[in-house]
């Protein structure tokens, strides 16, 4: 855990994009043995957005990025770096970041991807804020983008009900007078649990073969009960200590942006932390689990609704494959 020192860093603007196609719980009930009530009770999800055929992660990332640049009044030529958080890149290489940099015409910017499970968004946000605070960059575009639908086994009701496609983006820059600032961040991992969420086919460990196809190793696999237990055991005490180490009690955080993985997990964590439900931002009902994009999508919608006031403290937190987890605090 550490505090951001040096140059203060603020959020300049946000953006998002989700595909037009909507897949409801009733639609899923015609694909696998499930129903709307079963999905809602266990996850809180009502619908999710699914990319059109041929719509890539770089496409959804570009649209969210363009929205964030417009919202912040930023010219692509003013960007120093583009960081894309994703677990579903178009290809292993090139990364999504360089493709988006080219699409935007951000000729002076570097670009790279961060892949660290669903925590990738929080990791990327911390990297961007740290880079500006240190003086390396002045303006950074951070994007969380996922097109997970081609990587889902649509015959597996344990995973296919969870995920949706979409992207969110945020522009960070040097704080001006009266603007907000990032306060602290804590990024963690427990690699002993690396087998709880996996997509193992097609690379070094399991090169693509007839066998990997037959065993469905090219789809997301999750040990749901193990993940649920890990999150409920680790995340609440981690967040409490993160707040205390940052010089505040959990109840002093005005708005909580949890990774939108499961509404039951979010509500249980909030209850254990003694957080009022009114302080927790939830939009999983509309989008499902958009992985690295979920925190950014929630932030954009909340900012757009005018939910943040000057001096409010926001905490962004996520967990994901690895198992990784982390948090970052921002004062508006």
pLDDT digits (tens, 9 = 90+) for 247-281: 999 999 999 999 999 999 999 999 999 999 999 99
3-class secondary structure, 194: coil
Please tell me the least confidently modeled range out of 105-109, 144-148, 192-196, 307-311. Answer: 307-311
Give Cβ neighbours of residue 300 (< 8 Å, ≥ 6 apart): 14, 15, 16, 67, 68, 168, 169, 170
| Token couple for 205 | 């460990």
- Burial code (b: 16+ CB inside 10 Å, e: under 16) for 306-332 equals eebeeeebbbbbbbbbbbbbbbbbbeb
Residue ranges of the alpha helices (H) in the chain?
25-29, 36-43, 57-72, 96-104, 120-133, 157-160, 210-214, 224-245, 263-273, 284-287, 294-304
pLDDT at 307 over 90: no
Tens digit of pLDDT for each residue in 289-301? 999 999 999 999 9
Contact 316, 308 (CB under 8 A): no
User: What is the biggest distance separating any 2 CA atoms in the chain, rounded to whole angstroms?
Assistant: 60
Q: Which residues are catalytic?
A: 118, 259, 289
Separation CA 147–CA 158 (nearest Å): 18
Spatial distance between the Cα atoms of 302 and 322, rounded to a whole number of angstroms = 29
Contact 142, 83 (CB under 8 A): yes
Q: List the chain domain ranges.
A: 1-332
Q: What percent of the chain has pLDDT over 90?
A: 99
Mean per-residue pLDDT for 215-243? 97
At residue 307, the 3 state secondary structure works out as: coil
C-beta of residue 302 within 8 angstroms of C-beta of residue 325: no
Confidence of residue 236 (pLDDT cuts 50, 70, 90): very high
Q: How far apart are CA 114 and CA 180, in angstroms?
A: 25
The span from the CA of 97 to the CA of 327, in Å, is 23
Q: How far apart are the first and last CA of the chain?
A: 20
**pLDDT at residue 1, rounded to an integer:** 94
Q: Tell me the C-alpha distance between 274 and 223, whole Å.
A: 28
Question: What is the predicted pLDDT for the residue at 226?
Answer: 97
Q: What is the pLDDT of residues 190-210, one digit of tens each?
A: 999 999 999 999 999 999 999
- Is 1-332 a CATH 3.40.50.2300 domain? no
Calpha distance 226→159 (Å, rounded): 14
Mean pLDDT of the chain: 97
Overall average pLDDT of the 290-314 stretch: 96
C-alpha triplet 178, 120, 128: angle, nearest 5°: 35
Predicted confidence (pLDDT) at residue 217 exceeds the cutoff of 90: yes
For residue 207, the model assigns a pLDDT of 97
Q: What is the pLDDT of residues 135-182, one digit of tens each?
A: 999 999 999 999 999 999 999 999 999 999 999 999 999 999 999 999
The predicted model scores a pTM of 0.97
Q: 3-state class of 315 per DSSP?
A: strand
DSSP 103-159: HHT-TT-EEEEE-BTBTHHHHHHHHHHHHHHTTS-SEEEEEEEE--GGGS-TT-HHH
């Amino acid at each position: 855990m550490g505090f951001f020192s040096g140059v203060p860093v603020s959020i300049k603007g946000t953006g998002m994009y989700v595909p037009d196609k909507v897949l409801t719980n009733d639609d899923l009930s015609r694909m696998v043995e499930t129903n709307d009530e079963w999905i809602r009770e266990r996850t809180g999800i009502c619908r999710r957005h699914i990319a059109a055929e041929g719509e890539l992660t770089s496409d959804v990332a570009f649209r969210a990025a363009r929205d964030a640049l417009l919202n912040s009044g930023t010219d692509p030529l003013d960007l120093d770096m583009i960081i894309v958080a994703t677990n579903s890149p178009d290809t292993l290489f090139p990364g999504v970041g360089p493709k988006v940099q080219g699409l935007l015409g951000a000729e002076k910017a570097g670009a790279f991807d961060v892949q660290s499970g669903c925590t990738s968004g929080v990791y990327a946000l911390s990297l961007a804020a740290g880079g500006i605070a240190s003086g390396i960059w002045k303006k950074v575009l951070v994007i969380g983008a996922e097109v997970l639908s081609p990587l889902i086994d649509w015959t597996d009701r344990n995973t296919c009900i969870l995920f949706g496609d979409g992207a969110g983006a945020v522009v960070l820059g040097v704080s001006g007078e009266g603007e907000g600032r990032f306060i602290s961040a804590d990024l963690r991992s427990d690699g002993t649990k690396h087998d709880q969420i996996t997509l193992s086919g097609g690379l070094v460990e399991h090169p693509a073969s007839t066998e990997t196809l037959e065993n469905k190793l090219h789809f997301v696999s999750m040990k749901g009960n193990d993940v649920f237990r890990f999150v409920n055991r680790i995340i609440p005490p981690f967040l409490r200590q993160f707040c205390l180490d940052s010089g505040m009690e959990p109840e002093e955080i005005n708005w909580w942006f949890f990774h939108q993985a499961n509404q039951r997990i979010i509500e249980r964590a909030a209850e254990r932390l003694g957080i009022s439900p009114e302080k927790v931002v939830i939009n999983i009902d509309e989008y499902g689990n958009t992985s690295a994009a979920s925190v950014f999508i929630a932030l954009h919608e909340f900012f757009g609704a005018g939910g943040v006031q000057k001096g409010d403290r926001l905490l962004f937190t996520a967990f994901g494959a690895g198992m990784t987890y982390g948090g970052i605090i921002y004062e508006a």
